[in-house]
Amino acid sequence: MTIKEKTIIIYRQSDPKSKPKYERYKVPLTPGMTVLDALFYIQDYYDHTLAFRYSCRGAICGSCGLTINKFPQLACKTQVDPIELKKHARVPELIFGELSDWDKENEILIEPLPNMTIIKDLIVDMKPFWIFYREVKPYFDREITDVAPESSQTFEDARRIEQLVYCILCGLCWTCPVSGKNKNYLGPPALAKAFRFIDDTRVSNEHRKVIYDKAMQENSVSACEKIFACNAVCPKGVMPGTAIDKIRKLEKK
Ligand code: SF4
Ligand code: FES
């Protein structure tokens, strides 16, 4: 019996300053194999120094975000065979290193997430992501009189924010071209999280104003160019761009 194989091309870079290169690996396919499984195979059988992030393997921790075939996706949620060549008019072309001989039909190309500093191979520096996330104070805070989380909500109130609650902080929406060119832009994930708490009935008016003011400062909502690449790549249907638009509309109320 012949074992079906797939060639995986991986972006390799030993540190932020070294010259990147692409390496090819042949991986034997197993039923249901994900891109994350393929990375484990490569690490186990070819090169144990290959660096990538993961944790849950179940599309819930948000750690395994990668650019797969030029489209940001979760490695643990993306199957190797068949693999869809995703494209979306709102997602810009993502370029990392020089690669002129990629056979799109037969090879899977794996690169890091865009618009972040590469630390090693497929691992990016998420520090700015977390700094901006914390800035909007996306949590309940009794110090400023929030009554949550033990207080109840109506079904309708819960449903209104449900989609936003699904965010797993994977950083795929950092693909936004504004995040690429403006390093001070709060970015779609932090702004989506901001709206999730602005719109939560358990948050006090005082806390809501703190979050809203943060979202309305310079390099925040007003910096969004309504490209909506964030909506196109989000693996959880959070629609951060739509949330940003809703914050913008609050201003006019
Ligand atoms: S909004 Fe979507 S793409 Fe952005 S961090 Fe959350 S889950 Fe990931
Ligand atoms: S490993 Fe947790 S989301 Fe993929």
Q: The domain spanning residue 222 has which CATH number?
A: 1.10.1060.10
Question: From the alpha carbon of 74, which atom of ligand 2 is closest?
Answer: 4
97 lies in which domain range?
5-124
Mark which of 95, 124, 153 sits at the end of a domain. Answer: 124
Nearest ligand to residue 243 Cα? 1
CATH number reported for the structural domain that contains residue 25 in this entry? 3.10.20.30
Question: From the alpha carbon of 233, which atom of ligand 1 is closest?
Answer: 3
- For residue 3, give the 3-state DSSP assignment: coil
Residue 141's pLDDT is 83
Of 35, 39, 54, the residue with max ligand 2 atoms within 8 A of its CB, to mutate for a pocket test, comes to 54
Nearest ligand to residue 175 Cα? 1
Domain shared by 34 and 137, yes or no: no
Residue nearest to atom 3 of ligand 2 (CA): 59
Domain shared by 93 and 154, yes or no: no
Domain shared by 32 and 74, yes or no: yes
Count of other CB atoms within 10 angstroms of residue 253: 4
Domain shared by 157 and 118, yes or no: no
Domain shared by 94 and 153, yes or no: no
Nearest ligand to residue 170 Cα? 1
Domain shared by 119 and 131, yes or no: no
Domain shared by 10 and 62, yes or no: yes
pTM over 0.75? The answer is yes
Domain shared by 157 and 59, yes or no: no
Of 170, 179, 186, the residue with max ligand 1 atoms within 8 A of its CB, to mutate for a pocket test, comes to 170
Domain shared by 136 and 24, yes or no: no
Alpha carbon distance 150, 248 (integer Å): 30
Along the 253 residues of the chain, how does pLDDT read in single tens digits? 778 999 999 999 999 899 999 999 999 999 999 999 999 999 999 999 999 999 999 999 999 999 999 999 999 999 999 998 899 999 999 999 999 999 999 999 999 999 999 999 999 999 999 999 999 999 988 777 667 666 778 999 999 999 999 999 999 999 999 999 999 999 999 999 999 999 999 898 999 999 999 999 999 999 999 999 999 999 999 999 999 999 999 976 5
Domain shared by 48 and 117, yes or no: yes
Of 34, 35, 39, 55, the residue with max ligand 2 atoms within 8 A of its CB, to mutate for a pocket test, comes to 55
Domain shared by 91 and 136, yes or no: no
Residue 71's pLDDT is 97
Residues lining ligand 2, CB < 6 A?
A: 54-57, 59-64, 74, 76
Query: Domains in the chain: how many in total?
Result: 2
Residue partners of 18: CB distance under 8 A and separation at least 6:
none
DSSP-derived letter for residue 79 is B
Ordered alpha helix ranges (H), the chain: 35-45, 127-135, 155-165, 177-181, 187-198, 205-216, 229-233, 240-252
